[in-house]
Amino acid sequence: MPGEDYYKLLGVSRHAKPEDIKKAYRRLARRHHPDVNPGNKESEERFKQVSEAFDVLSDPKKREVYDRYGYYSEQVANAAAGSNPAFDFSSFGASNFRDIFSEIFSSIRGPQAAGRKQRARGPDIELPLALTFDEAMQGKQTAIDIDRSESCSVCGGSGEDANNTYACPVCEGAGQVKRLGMTTRCARCGGGGKVPQLCAACRGNGIIPKREPVQVKIPPGVETGSRVRIAAKGHAGTMGGPTGDLFILTNVGEHPYFKRQGDNIYCTVPVTVPEAALGAKIEVPTVDGRALLRIPPGTQSGQKFRLRERGVPSLRAGIRGDQFVEVKITLPKVISEETKDLLQQYARYNPENPRAGMGLD
C-alpha cells in the first residue's frame, strides 16, 4: 500500500535525473547517518527512510514499479511483470547502491573507507634528483630512500578485520530494513547483518607506511625535466589493486664549457694564430673525454667544425647527436722584445688590410 512519498523524502521532483537523486541521497545520508548522530533514534529512523527511498529510486526497475503503483515491493514487481508482458526491464541498467553508499560512508569513517570498497591503482610518486652535467651524459646508478605505502598484510588491503564483526547499526543485525510493510536488503551490511571491525594493524586504511631504499638507474642522455620511471615503486593500490610507479624528475647542472641543444653539444675552443694560419691537429674536449680535431690552414675565428656522434646519447632514437666545435683565435702575448720584433717583421712582410672590404685604410 502507498506510504511516504520517496521523492519528497529525498527532496527531488518526480522527473529528477539519476544524478540528482544520487546527490540528494548523499547529502541526507551524511546528515542522518547513525555514526554521526550516535543515540539519536530520530536521525537513525530518517537514515533508514532515505536509504530505502534511494534503494528504490536509484534502480530503474524498482522506480518503474514505484511510479506506477505508488509503492514498491517484490510481490508488486513480480505481479507487474507477470500481468503485463510489455513491462520489460531489460532495457534498464541497475544502479549500484553499495557504491554510492561507500562514497557517503567514506566521509564519515575517514577518507580510506571508500577505497576499501573497490579495487584501485595506487598513486604514483615523483621525486626530484640533481645530477651533474657529466652524470647526465654518462648515466648514473644510485639508491634513493623513499617514503611509500604498501598493502597491509594482515587484512590484505581491505582495511577490515573479517574475523571480528559487530551488528550492523542500520538494520541492527537483521540484514533487512522494513518500512511501511516493505522489506529491502540493508545497504550497509549487504544483507549479512554483520559489519567487520577495522583492521587493527593498519587502522582501517588498508595500507601501511614504509621507508624503502630503491635502486635508481638513470640512463645516459637525460636532461632537466626528464622523467625516469621505476615500475611498481609508488604507493600501494587498494583492495589488491596494482601499485603505482615511482618517477624520478632530473635536474641537470650547467657545465663550464659545454652547452646542450637537443642531442647536440656545442663548445668553443681557443687556437693560436700559427695554428689557425698554418693548420694543426689539436685536442678538444668531448662528453666522452678528449678527441683530436684537424684545423685546416687559414681557419678563421668563429669557424665551426663537426664531430659526428660525439654528442648526447639519444633517449628515443638509440643514436647519438653531434658535437660542434667553434674555434676562437687568441692573440699572442708580447712577452719580450724578440716577440715584438717578430710581429713587426710579420706586419712588414704581410701588409694586408682586413678592413679594405669596408673601404677603410
Topology of domain 6-117, per CATH?
Helix Hairpins (1.10.287)
Residue 87, pLDDT score: 38
Spatial neighbors of 349 by CB under 8 A, at least 6 apart, are none
Cα distances (angstroms) measured from residue 314 to each of 5, 223, 228, 320:
68, 11, 14, 5
Cα 271 from chain centre? 51
Residue 130, pLDDT score: 96
Cα distances (angstroms) measured from residue 356 to each of 85, 296, 349:
105, 25, 18
Where exactly does CATH 2.60.260.20 map onto the chain? Answer: 120-152+209-254, 259-358
The DSSP string of 252-268 is EPP-SS-EEETTEEEEE
Interior angle at CA 118, CA 168 and CA 34, nearest 5: 25
Return the CATH number of the domain spanning residue range 120-152+209-254: 2.60.260.20
Report the distance separating Cα 58 and Cα 23, nearest Å: 11
Predicted TM-score (pTM) above 0.85? no
Topology of domain 259-358, per CATH?
HSP40/DNAj peptide-binding domain (2.60.260)
Is there a contact between 293 and 282 (Cβ–Cβ < 8 Å)?
A: yes
Sheet hosting strand 264-272, strand order edge to edge: 259-261, 264-272, 323-330, 304-307
Averages of pLDDT over runs of 10 residues in the chain (361 residues) are: 76 90 87 78 85 89 81 64 42 42 45 53 95 96 95 88 86 81 80 88 90 96 96 91 95 97 97 96 96 97 97 88 97 91 89 87 77
Where exactly does CATH 1.10.287.110 map onto the chain? Answer: 6-117
